[in-house]
Structure 1
Amino acid sequence: MIAGTAMVFVVAALHDERSACRGLQVNKPLMLRLATPADTESVTDVLFISRETFLPFAKSPHSRQGFRSWVAEYLIPGGRVTVATVDHEIVGVLAVSEDQGIGWIDQLYVHPDHVSVGVGSLLLQHAHAVLKHPIRLFTFQENMRARSFYERHGYQPIRFSDGQDNEEKCPDVLYEWTGPTPISIQP
């Protein structure tokens, strides 16, 4: 990629009956691109609103302003944040990293108005394409929606904890994905 250019590509078009039933526009292109500092408010909104909606049991110790500062000063400048957009509106956020040969999904959130239409799956596929394997992530044990999502995509739980190491102090689970399962061809 040439310095100063943004990665933008059409991943898919949102189109399914669930979208139409919920009043979402269908057949709109879903685009992935790198987050920029101008995305700070929208990224903060997706992360904050998703946490409030889906993680009421894991209250963040940070205010919305504190969350925004973290997004502006740490998350986006880290350079590995991808946003999913529909009509230029950010509807999903993915933040990844690598440490000691292991890929990490640090954040994967979809705005509540856009869940269950493929945004999360496409962000996850993108993570699989850009990260070294294995790929790991943490989610809260009580977050059954996320656990089911990751398990459907081949992630396996490898460690459960009491949550004393996370700032929410909620029991969590470490998941790992080692890559696609090889197809066995029988003679």
Structure 2
Amino acid sequence: MNFQSWPQRVLAVDVEGNGTNPPDLVEIAALPVRAGQPDISTAGAWLIRPERPVTTRAAGIHGLTNEVLVDKPAWGELADQVCDFFGHDWICAHNAHVDYRELSRHLPTWKPGGVIDTLRLAKATYKSLPSYTLDALIKHAQPDLSQAPRVGRHRATYDAYATAQLLLTMASHYETWDQLIAAAVPPGLPGAPQPEEDPTLW
């Protein structure tokens, strides 16, 4: 893969919620990928005090309890900062529909350049795996996670790093950026290749 054909910055992102429906965000991570490498020196990460309490089930998954978040900024204090950080860059997430939906709901003026889904990409790259969860793909592809944050799985910073490394690992199976996004961008999301129109006589 020639990474010079990529956008200057692709953001590997992950969000965590408080367990309600719809969720309040409690953590966002955005890790820039530049020139084929994750750039941890310019990563963005935010912990957020939700309007509604974190459910017991959600806290059991990501470990972000109400006590941990009680002194963190509310979303209204962070929204502009997060939106400015994201800009109009491409984003990449695992099962990206979920992250894109929640980010769009919380940032109504935000418009990414495109949305790469590593779940969709993995199904095109590694056909017939029994599972395409993030854990299953980490086990199968064995990306380099030696520099991943030590907070562990289901925290946004770790999952964003793992997603970035999975993206780069799978990118080696494609020759060009256009081939990659053809496999990785779900129809209907920003950046999806437009189908060619059938030629007609009129």
Please indicate, yes or no, whether the TM-score normalized by the shorter chain is above 0.5: no
Flag the structure with higher helix content: 2
With structure 2 as the length reference, what TM-score do the two structures score?
A: 0.27
With structure 1 as the length reference, what TM-score do the two structures score?
A: 0.29
**Larger RCO (alpha carbons 8 Å, 6+ apart):** 2
